[in-house]
Amino acid sequence: MADTKFRAMVVSETGKNEFKREIAERSISDLPEGEVLVKVQFSSLNYKDALSASGNRGVTRNYPHTPGVDAAGLVEESSSLNFSRGDKVIVHGHDLGMDTDGGFGQYIRVPADWVVTLPDGLTAKEAMMYGTAGFTAAQSVLKLTENKINPGSGKILVTGATGGVGSMAVAILAKAGFEVTASTGKTDQAEFLKSIGASEVISREDSSDQSGKLLLRGLWAGVVDTVGGDILATAIKSTNQRGVVTTCGNVASHDLNINVYPFILRGVTLVGIDSASCPMQRREKIWDMMATYWKLGNLEELSRTVTLEGLSDEIDKILKGGQVGRVVVDLWK
Ligand SMILES: NC(=O)c1ccc[n+]([C@@H]2O[C@H](COP(=O)([O-])OP(=O)(O)OC[C@H]3O[C@@H](n4cnc5c(N)ncnc54)[C@H](OP(=O)(O)O)[C@@H]3O)[C@@H](O)[C@H]2O)c1
């Protein structure tokens, strides 16, 4: 395999803070060291990939680089006894697509302990319809349930609801029997949000309180926040007694201007979600949940498939907050 050529998106620095993306030919011998070589069938687009593909040094330090935090495919070669040629696998998170060449190429080579066996009940394409976004949404829902929030507890708010993590969270929560309120900047997508399981849609403006009040009327038993900033602060202040708020994203802001009252008067719990470094046993449990109890019947409705050539336009769209649902990348079309 050493000299086999393959196609990949390559992001290069062309000048100070200027980057270009192209679909280029690469060699397997150029991939980093690792025990498992995977032929990537499908990848998917996440916000972090768009940052990496546009030169964000907080995500990727060294260019030229192939982004893609997600990959699903077949083991091509393995020096680990845990995997054999032809095994169906998923690789996501860790350093994949950050400073390690990622899933926007037809091959990746990674350490064996990054590799998850594709669960029965999911195809490689379905796994990438979920991708890191779906995994993060599922992990957020799991945290709510582990903290004793169940469908009888009350309404769950999802922010950034049309985005990858947000739309997956709406759909998984609905599948698990929760009543979901979706907060979105795209009110023209209300019908889409209802079709995937939201019972109510509110605007981004109504989700961001500017009154300066320390506590707001309790509305939510739980919150899956994907955006941060004032919207997250408002959600925490609007969470009921012993409610639970998960935080995973920062598309609105990385700042969180909050006071202690929601925590000391209402016993609200704020839970951080970090998918990249999620331990293997938990990673497998979450993939199993997505393949069984939380398997969505409407994955096609939640995603679109593009080729490597079509990916750059989607990257521009997600950077502007314009993405709706999930984008899957078919590496061999
Ligand atoms: N912690 C982790 O492990 C982890 C894993 C995956 C993703 N993330 C993070 O989660 C966030 C969402 O990722 P994603 O892949 O779902 O991205 P995405 O598809 O772009 O979704 C983000 C959504 O947030 C809303 N939004 C965009 N700009 C906004 C703004 N300025 N203010 C308020 N809302 C805004 C939009 O939805 P509406 O128009 O519907 O409001 C947008 O579709 C990102 O910050 C990402 O880095 C974290």
Q: Could you give the C-alpha distances from 66 to 17, 59, 195, 291, in angstroms and in order? A: 17, 12, 35, 28
Does this model's pTM top 0.95?
Answer: yes
Residue 275 CB–ligand 1 contact under 6 Å? yes
Q: Which residues contact 129 (CB under 8 A, 6 or more apart)?
A: 44, 299, 300, 302, 303, 326, 328
Residue 283 CB–ligand 1 contact under 6 Å? no
Query: Which residue owns the Cα nearest ligand 1 atom 13?
Result: 47
Q: Give pLDDT tens digits for 42-68.
A: 999 999 999 999 999 999 999 999 999
Return d(Cα 238, Cα 268) in angstroms, integer.
10
Task: Find the 228 Cα to ligand 1 centroid distance in Å.
Answer: 9
Return d(Cα 328, Cα 331) in angstroms, integer.
9
* E strand or H helix that includes residue 118: none
The strand pair at 36-45 and 326-330 is best described as antiparallel
Return d(Cα 103, Cα 107) in angstroms, integer.
7
Q: Give pLDDT tens digits for 88-142.
A: 999 999 999 999 999 999 999 999 999 999 999 999 999 999 999 999 999 999 9
> Which among 181, 226, 248, 270 is the best mutation to test ligand 1's pocket, defined by most ligand atoms within 8 Å of the CB?
226
Residue 167 CB–ligand 1 contact under 6 Å? no
Residue 132 CB–ligand 1 contact under 6 Å? yes
Query: Which residue owns the Cα nearest ligand 1 atom 33?
Result: 252
Residue 210 DSSP SS3: coil
Flag whether pLDDT at 1 surpasses 70: no
Residue 162 CB–ligand 1 contact under 6 Å? yes
Give Rg (Cα) of the chain. Answer: 20
Domains of the chain: 5-118+302-330 (3.90.180.10), 132-272 (3.40.50.720)
